[in-house]
Structure 1
C-alpha cells in the first residue's frame, strides 16, 4: 500500500465514523437542503439526462433530488453494480422500482442499458466521502466511479461532475493518485462550491 492509498484509507475511516454519528433527522434535514441547492445548479436545470445514484445509510440523501429531476422530465440513470465493480445503468422509474442489491445498495429494476449509457449524461452526480479545494474527490475505494470517469474521458465526454457531501467533508487536501479526476462542483447543505 503506497502513502496515497494509506492516506485515503485513514481519511475514509474518519469520515465514515463521523457519518455514523448522524441521526436520522440530521440525514433527512441535510437531504432536503442538498436537493434544494442541487436543483438550483444550471448544470442540472438544463440537463436532459443525469447519471445519479441512490443514497443509502448515512450518505448525503439523493431520493428527493431523484424524484424532482424525474418529475421535471429529466432522464435519470442509476447505477447497477456489476460483479467486477464496473457500473451498468438503468433508467429511474420511481422509488417503487428500486430493488435491494448487494452491499446494501438499491438498484433500478428496469432494463440494463450497458456501461456506455453514462456517455449520454449531461451531468453526473458522484457519491463520495470528501472533496478538497482543487475539486479532487475521495470515493469509498471500490473504483467503480474511477471506471466511469475514465470511460467518459476516453470518449471525449465532459458532463458536469458534481459530488454531494456534508459540510465537514470539504477538506483541505485529499490524497491524489494518477487515475483520480477532479469534479466541477460540490453541493453541501450550506450551498455549492465550484472548482475551476
Structure 2
C-alpha cells in the first residue's frame, strides 16, 4: 500500500527528474552545434555508465542479475535509451529547445492512456486537468510563427518529438509492467551501458 509519505517522495523525485530533463533539452541543443547526434549520445551514455558504475561501487550495490531479466533490460535499453535519445537529438536539429520541452509534456498523456489500458490505473480529475493543459501548451508552441493561423508549422522535428513522447510512454508502462527486481540505479546503469554499446558503432 502506498503511503502519503511515499507519494510526496515520489512527487519530489518526479519534479527533480523533470527539472533535469528540461535542462537537458537546452544543453543538447547547444552541443548539437558542435557534434552530430550519435557522437553526442555516445559521450553522454559513456559518461553516464561510468558515473553510475562508480556510484554503485561506492554504495556497494550488487550488479549481478538473473539471466531471465537480461532480455527485459535489452528491450528497455533499446526503447528508453537508444531509440528515445536518438529521436530527440535528431528532432533538436530542426526545432528549438523550448518547443521540445513543451512537446515532451505530451508524454504523460500517452502514459496515462496506456496505463489505463495495460496497468488498469484510474483517471483522476487532476490527471484530466493536467492532460488538457499539456495539450493546450503544445498547441500554442506548434502554432507559433504560423502567421496568426491555426495550422501547425510543418517541421519534421515536431513529428519526431511526438514520436519520442509516445515511445517514452511505452517505455514507462513497460518498465512498471516488467517489474525487474533490481534497484533503480542498477537498472539505469545497465540501460546506459546498453545505450552506449548500441550507439557506439554509429
TM-score, with structure 1 as normaliser: 0.30
Give the TM-score of the pair, scaled to structure 2.
0.29
